[in-house]
Amino acid sequence: MTTVTEALSGKTHGDENFPVASWLLNDQNRGPILAFYRFARAADDVADHPTLPPDRKLVLLDGLDAALRGRGAPLPEAEPLRLALSERDLKPTHALDLLDAFRLDVRKNRYADWAELMDYCRLSAAPVGRFVLDVHGEDQTTWPASDALCAALQVNNHLQDCALDYRRLDRVYLPLDVLAAHRASVEMLGAPRAAPALRGAIAEIARRTSELIDRGEKLIPEIKDVRLAVEIAAIQALARRLARDLESRDPLSERVQFGKAGFALIGGLGALRFLASALVRSVRARPKASA
């Protein structure tokens, strides 16, 4: 295997646990976001490839880096994003941060504690939200709340895939100190069903994820683009429900995820709740007619 294209998994934005550039967004903003997603998906597929040697993974990630900066041969996975950035006069900072996260995935397979995991999420998750906000012209004051929500989405994904990551890649994102506190071990991730100790550790991490989502609640009121705010409301609802499911279910013995109907229902209700609350605020803000 010699190219990024050959390493692709075939996974698309439609396979995620949250909307990615959905029809809720303005069409003019969907293209750059999808280009960013495809670039990130390609880099992720390289880093997660089960048989590609680490040195080769790093070479391919460096190639994506060079192509995005316009310094190397154009790559189909990078060129659409490079063009989108140029058209919007945006810097490649967020995509380059993601590449650093994927390089870290190649080199690192354990996380000592929650703080170390959050440091990883600052590279692997926060840049995604920041890019979406930049594309919509939102203020950078929205970044902290967005970072919290994106970290929650990332940790939810880690919990969903904890057994698969361990078995395929010997990679464990569950903080080792949390495992130790519950008398759980990394090796328990190889079992067909989670032992009570491991279930306890996963539940604690899911509760911490819910706390991140709480911090992300500040994001929506700061968003100027209503259509983006609606999508974020749907994402928050899906993230909160998934964290709650992961707190009570076993991701080793079952796939904890939404079906299409559940995805649409939970996300749709989240969006509708936001629209209803926005309508109430609008009515209350109207000046009262004089008698």
Residue type, 37: Y
Mean pLDDT of 226-252: 93
Whole-number Å distance between alpha carbons of 160 and 52: 23
Written as six digits, the tokens of 144 are: 């902290």
Distances (CA, A) of 64 to 40, 53, 56, 178, 283: 10, 17, 13, 35, 49
Whole-number Å distance between alpha carbons of 184 and 178: 8
pLDDT for the residue 269: 63
Whole-number Å distance between alpha carbons of 91 and 85: 6
Whole-number Å distance between alpha carbons of 269 and 273: 6
Instruction: Please check the confidence at residue 281 and state whether its pLDDT lies above 60.
Output: no
The pTM for the full model equals 0.89
266: confidence class by pLDDT, cuts 50, 70, 90: confident
Name residues whose C-beta falls within 8 Å of residue 235's C-beta, 6 or more positions apart in sequence: 18, 19, 149, 153, 267, 270
Mean pLDDT of 265-290: 59
Name residues whose C-beta falls within 8 Å of residue 170's C-beta, 6 or more positions apart in sequence: 109
Place of tokens 């974020």: 232
Instruction: Please check the confidence at residue 211 and state whether its pLDDT lies above 80.
Output: yes
Instruction: Please check the confidence at residue 256 and state whether its pLDDT lies above 90.
Output: no
pLDDT for the residue 265: 61
Give percent above pLDDT 90 in the chain.
Answer: 74
Mean pLDDT of 231-237: 90
Whole-number Å distance between alpha carbons of 94 and 27: 21
Instruction: Please check the confidence at residue 87 and state whether its pLDDT lies above 50.
Output: yes
73: confidence class by pLDDT, cuts 50, 70, 90: confident
Question: What are the pLDDT digits (tens) for 110-131?
Answer: 999 999 999 999 999 999 999 9
Instruction: Please check the confidence at residue 66 and state whether its pLDDT lies above 60.
Output: yes
Phi, psi of 217, rounded to the nearest 5 degrees: -60, -25
pLDDT for the residue 161: 95
Question: What are the pLDDT digits (tens) for 26-57?
Answer: 888 899 999 999 999 999 999 999 999 999 99
More confident residue, 72 or 158: 158
2: confidence class by pLDDT, cuts 50, 70, 90: confident
Question: What are the pLDDT digits (tens) for 136-191?
Answer: 999 999 999 999 999 999 999 999 999 999 999 999 999 999 999 999 999 999 99
Instruction: Please check the confidence at residue 69 and state whether its pLDDT lies above 80.
Output: yes
pLDDT for the residue 291: 43
> What average pLDDT does the chain have?
89
Mean pLDDT lowest for which of 30-34, 100-104, 204-208, 244-248? 30-34
Place of tokens 């990551």: 165
